[in-house]
Amino acid sequence: MQPCTFCGNQIPAGTGKMYVRKDARILFFCSRRCEKNLLKLERNPRTTAYTVEGRKTKQQQMSARSHALKKDDAPKEEVKPVAKKSAKKTAKK
């Protein structure tokens, strides 16, 4: 069983499509959707939601966000307000 070149899912035997480029690179596709996304639309699998790489990327982003939130929740130093000096303006007569 070969993994799909675009989405990374395993292709059952007897199904899918094998595409051979002119440079002798062999691409395996599980569906027309994967084939079209890679060849015609030239999409990156990391930015596509249904692919294995797309799920990994999203999970990494979510863990980075939660890690950043944990850092922001740390107790901060208290800031004391500074008393403002009142400046009286004298009006010219």
How far is Cα 67 from Cα 49, in angstroms, rounded to an integer? 22
- CATH domain 2-63 topology: Ribosomal Protein L24e; Chain: T; (2.30.170)
Residue spans of the domains in the chain: they are: 2-63
Per residue in 22-78, pLDDT tens? 999 999 999 999 999 999 999 999 999 999 999 999 999 998 888 777 766 656 677
Asked if residue 84 has pLDDT above 90, the reply is: no
Asked if residue 10 has pLDDT above 60, the reply is: yes
Name residue, tokens 């982003």.
Answer: 61
How far is Cα 39 from Cα 47, in angstroms, rounded to an integer? 15
Parallel, antiparallel, or unpaired for β 2-3 and 26-29? unpaired
Minimal CA–CA distance to 48: which of 7, 77, 17? Answer: 7
| Global pTM value | 0.67
Asked if residue 93 has pLDDT above 60, the reply is: no
